[in-house]
Amino acid sequence: MTGKTIYEALTAAPNKVLVKVECASHALLWEGCGQGMATLPARCMPTSGSRPYGQEVGSDPWAGPHSTFKAALIEWITKGTFNGKSNGSFTVNQSGVVVQ
């Protein structure tokens, strides 16, 4: 069963979100973004004017899929939202930016 299948099956849930992190694998909890590398992959650097979800403005590079997962859980548990919304399907791109 996929996350999308579960999301769609939750018809009685008043609030639900589905978050897809484009470059994440099943090891999402441990995936960073180039830690320990001399040069960071381009995917770790958000485009000018954008901010990785869950990170402070100007805190480049993106910390990686694990940081997105952590920030999403904290927001959902404390506020019942993801990126300020209580319902919807969202995509986080390879630089950590929510693009829907």
pLDDT in tens, 9-35: 999 999 999 998 887 777 776 677 755
Residue 49 pLDDT: 73
Domain ranges of the chain: 3-92
In this prediction the pTM is 0.78
Residue 40, pLDDT > 60, answer no
80 or 27, higher pLDDT: 80
Which tokens sit at 15?
């609030």
- List residues bridging with 20 in a β-sheet: 91
